[in-house]
Structure 1
Amino acid sequence: MIERWATALLRIALVVLFGILVVFQTLSLPGQFRYLAEQNPEDAALRWPATAITVFWVLCVQVVIVATWRLLTLVQKDRIFTEASLGWVDAIVWAVAAGWLVLIAVLLWVGFQADDPGLPMLLFLATAVVTVVGLVLIVMRALLRQATALRTDMDAVI
């Protein structure tokens, strides 16, 4: 019973988060970088690259949200230990990997340009967190693959 409540609450949270991310993607981030370009004309050339990168990261999170929604559907239908679930987990892993690669590029660019260690250290922290999340996802995917194989074997026996 508690799983049903948790699943329902998670779905509500995913919808709210997705909606907030759409607002950020379409209004807040572009507006913020426009404002920063107006306030600091010497950094105006960074407006569009910064907008594109942050919108891309939001898109990566949106992919994770959609894939999580689909995995919840598979859980509800008791089909989580099937090949269908692996495709959605792969989507999450690839979205995290794509975001991580762009984060590494930003870290390197900022690291070589910065005269203050604050932002590079923050980006390094974010990179470490995303690295750990990505590696945990890869391990969890391997566990899901093993559980799926065991479930397939058990279904064949029964």
Structure 2
Amino acid sequence: MPSTHRAVGPLRVLLVLLFAGLVVAQVAVLPPTLASLADDEPDLAFLQWPALAFSVVELVCVQVVIVCTWRLLGMVRAGRIFSEAAFVWVNAIVATMVVAWALALAAFVSVSVLVDGPGLPVLLFGVVLAGGALVLLMIVMRALLRQATTLRADMDAVI
């Protein structure tokens, strides 16, 4: 467990940097980039605002996962990760990832219908596949946490 505690600090630093980078992307990078793309491709200019809304909501989903992960890291550091309280944060992560995946799926379907050429639809299809894999991985990890929590409670009862 000591090596786990040593990893919590650097991981929190990286989470703060990632969160800050996502805020910068939402506020300063995405709006001008999508405006520029709309100017360069007038046929697709109508997608500027839906793409901005989609991108911001997806990044907010990532930020929610970061906050939940931060809280779980606090529980790891305090030695309370194998408790029922952890499932609030894990369930929030799973739910947020499902929302993000559903939005990516909707974007894939919409873009496949609206856009000529395979580039963007293929990219979004890859995002949908990767997102689905991540959601299922988190569901498996939640089940493993449930088993470990049950075993921990059983061991505490025996001791």
TM-score (norm 2): 0.93
Could you report, residue by residue, the CA deviation over 1:3-54 in whole angstroms, capped at 9, with x for unpaired residues?
Answer: 2331111111000000000000111111211222233333222111110000
**Correspondence 1:2-151 to 2 at 5 A:** 2-151=3-152
Q: Within 2, Cα distance between the matches of 1:147 and 1:5?
A: 22
Q: Within 1, Cα distance between the matches of 2:14 and 2:58?
A: 19
Give 1:120's aligned amino acid. P
Q: CA RMSD in A?
A: 1.3
- In structure 2, runs of 5+ residues without a counterpart are none
Q: Within 1, Cα distance between the matches of 2:4 and 2:143?
A: 23
- Deviation, structure 1 residue 105: 0.5
What is the SS of the residue equivalent to 2:96?
A: helix
What is the SS of the residue equivalent to 1:34?
A: helix
Give 2:89's aligned amino acid. W
- Deviation, structure 1 residue 55: 0.4
- In structure 1, runs of 5+ residues without a counterpart are none
Give 2:106's aligned amino acid. A
TM-score (norm 1): 0.94
Q: How many residues are aligned here?
A: 158
Cα–Cα, structure 1 residues 135 and 122, in superposed 2: closer, same or farther, change >3 Å? Answer: same
